Structure 1
Amino acid sequence: MTKTLPTDPRLEALLDAALDHVPFDGWSPATFRAATSEAGMTEAEAKALAPRGAIDLAVALHRRGDRAMVEKMASVGSVDMRYRDRVSAALHYRVEALPDREVARKSSALFSLPTHAAEGAKLIWETSDAIWTALGDTSRDGNWYSKRATLSAVWGSVVLYWLGDDSIGHERTKEFIDRRIDNVMSVEEIKGRLRKNPLTKPLMEIQAAIMGRVKAPSRADRSNLPGRWSPDT
């Protein structure tokens, strides 16, 4: 299991103070000012923790959810589970870590803006990467990307479904997750059959060779996500 990074308790306190205001004022300067005051900080202290103001708090909230998911994965364990069930369970845990629905709506609205859409996509990618890393994924080539791209698409659709799910205990969202994972696994099964078929095996080998030239980013430095293309491999 992957280890979670330590958090700054002052940033966590500032984020906690902001959450009561987000449903009304969104991730706005007004929310940031109110959080700063309620956390007992000066503007300079708050800006040192979140230089971009509320947008940095929104990012911190997303990463808090990722940490909670990884910690739940580590505490529950999944050695005896099928691989598809382990992925599904991780997504269930991430749903459990979602904030108040109105806060989640405000966050979704923020990261759908053109100025923040790229960062929103990066955060979704981080969630996917956290899941695969926690599950022990060792791929370092194009498979690293395909796994995370696929799961990122699944997670993005799960959040949208959850926002409109009024079922008790979000049971419909849980069922939606299971259906989406089944769809993903069926694609992997098809790829496996293509690799074994004498007629399609050469094409799959070419695809594998191309994917092998793609390199995953350094495990030590996650700031260069999603990675790079290497023509030298």
Structure 2
Amino acid sequence: MNLSSLGFFRSLRTENKQFAVVGLGRFGRAVSATLHGLGYEVLGVDSDEKRVAQAMSDQIAAHALQLDSTDPSALKQAGVFEFDTVIVAIGNYVEESVITALNLKEGGVPHVVAKASSEIHEKLLKKVGADHVIFPEHEMGCTLARTLTKPSILDRFELDPDNSIVELIVPEEFHGKTIAELQLRSRYGLNLLAVSHDNKFEINPSPNTRLKRGTAAVVIGCNKDINRLPI
């Protein structure tokens, strides 16, 4: 996570139970369905009547409306400006996306999260006041490249551009050795956070724990040091 996003996430109200999602394509549907499944009240908005009807049929939102989000009066009449957090999930129509984000901010929505489809799109969204911009295609592309080049790394959480927490498959070179014997901190500059055992993770494992090939481990450290592991 980019540290510059900390201010945005700190400003979100944990007691907020309502969200609006503008754009019910694949991304918007996923956001809406997940929020709805977690028990939050979601208003889905799209200019396409079929998408609106499908959202209600699939029960991925509590309410769904067909409207033109580039029309501020339509957003106001629908009560979208009253939401604390609105997700603009319009990725493929830059002008519509940017105008919608602008309308929401000018309408007084405290937290506007918007999806960008390109770097220029991202810059435009930030220019009109979007509070948090995500670039899922870019993020997935980076993730895929890392997965193809480092298949032993199962998952990665980037703390910043230089440091990460990664879940990896225990390599053959570590099999049968205890955590103390491996000396990960002195040899690689890494800290071991957890190891898997019987399909569960043991957090802060004992230094006497022996690792087994093919199981999973979670380490934290510098990306350069992580890349030095025999994986």
Which range, TM-score by smaller chain? under 0.3
More helix by share: 1
- Report the TM-score when normalising by structure 2: 0.26
Structure with greater proportional strand content: 2
Higher relative contact order (CA 8 A, sep 6+): 1
Q: What is the TM-score normalised by the length of structure 1?
A: 0.26
